[in-house]
């Protein structure tokens, strides 16, 4: 989730049907690129997740918890905000979040140029240059690029039918919501 304040949060959603064996590794992987991670769980799973997080030491203590109540609301009683945790940040993982044009823009902003190498070596040369940026700045520049993708307002998103929200959010359809709405309102013809 990317909000307007520059923060990027990761939410791992765990239902009562999920297996929690992989949770520790999933959290560790998220922390390779992101500084704030939360787990969204049901009230029933709270103590199980709390024990898992406790066993993970500092990393587990940084993880936020969002508890979905039986009324489908986030419980304020059990939930806690995530805390920044940067011990596992990894250049390669952060870099791989970016598309080619985005990492080239980051390098151009930071260094005023991008590496001039044969196309086959371009990715690796750009990654090596990216690693010269302090990791917190590299992460911040990456997040700024991610925020430029698929801008959609809360009002627009609220008006989208729930069955289509994910499709619209993760595609370029948000740039043409009016045409999509017209298409959905038209009668089907053979």
Distance CA 156, CA 42 (A): 28
Pairwise pLDDT comparison (19 vs 183), residue with the higher score: 19
Strands 9-13, 36-42: parallel, antiparallel or unpaired by DSSP?
A: parallel
Pairwise pLDDT comparison (154 vs 113), residue with the higher score: 113
Average pLDDT over residues 168-179: 63
The predicted pLDDT at position 190 comes to 67
Pairwise pLDDT comparison (77 vs 175), residue with the higher score: 77
The predicted pLDDT at position 148 comes to 85
The closest of 23, 41, 34 to 79, measured between CA atoms, is 41
Average pLDDT over residues 68-90: 85
**Range in 67-76, 139-148, 160-169 with the lowest mean pLDDT:** 160-169
Distance CA 154, CA 158 (A): 6
pLDDT of residue 104 exceeding 60, the answer is: yes
Distance CA 138, CA 35 (A): 13
Using DSSP, state whether 15 is helix, strand or coil.
coil
The closest of 151, 140, 147, 145 to 35, measured between CA atoms, is 140
Query: Edge-to-edge strand order for the sheet containing 36-42?
Result: 9-13, 36-42, 64-68, 74-80
The predicted pLDDT at position 4 comes to 52
The predicted pLDDT at position 150 comes to 64
Would you say 66 and 38 are in contact if contact means Cβ atoms under 8 Å apart? yes
- pLDDT over 70, % of the chain: 82
Q: Which helix (H) or strand (E) holds 180?
A: helix 177-185
pLDDT of residue 184 exceeding 60, the answer is: yes
The predicted pLDDT at position 116 comes to 96
Residue with tokens 């911040």: 140
DSSP conformation letters of 49-111? HHHHHHHTHHHHHH-EEEEEPTTSSEEEEEEE------TT--HHHHHTTS-HHHHHHHHHHHH
pLDDT tens digits for 48-58?
999 999 999 99
Beta-carbon neighbour count of residue 100 at 10 Å? 10
pLDDT band at 185; cut points 50, 70, 90: confident
Distance CA 73, CA 55 (A): 27
The predicted pLDDT at position 151 comes to 65
Domain range list for the chain: 9-80, 91-147, 154-185
């Amino acid at each position: 989730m990317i909000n307007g304040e520059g923060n990027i949060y990761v939410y791992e959603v765990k239902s009562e049907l999920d297996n929690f064996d992989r949770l520790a590794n999933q959290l560790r992987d998220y922390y390779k690129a992101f500084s704030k991670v939360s787990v969204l769980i049901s009230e029933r799973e709270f103590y199980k997740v709390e024990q898992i997080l406790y066993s993970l030491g500092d990393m587990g203590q940084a993880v936020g918890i969002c508890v979905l109540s039986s009324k489908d609301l986030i419980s304020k009683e059990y939930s806690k905000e995530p805390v920044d945790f940067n011990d596992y940040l990894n250049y390669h993982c952060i870099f791989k979040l970016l598309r080619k044009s985005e990492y080239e823009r980051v390098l151009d902003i930071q260094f005023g140029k991008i590496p001039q190498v044969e196309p086959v070596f371009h990715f690796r040369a750009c990654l090596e240059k990216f690693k010269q940026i302090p990791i917190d700045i590299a992460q911040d520049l990456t997040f700024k690029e991610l925020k430029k993708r698929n801008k959609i307002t809360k009002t627009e998103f609220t008006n989208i039918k729930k069955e289509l929200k994910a499709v619209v959010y993760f595609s370029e359809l948000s740039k043409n919501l009016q045409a999509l709405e017209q298409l959905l309102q038209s009668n089907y013809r053979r």
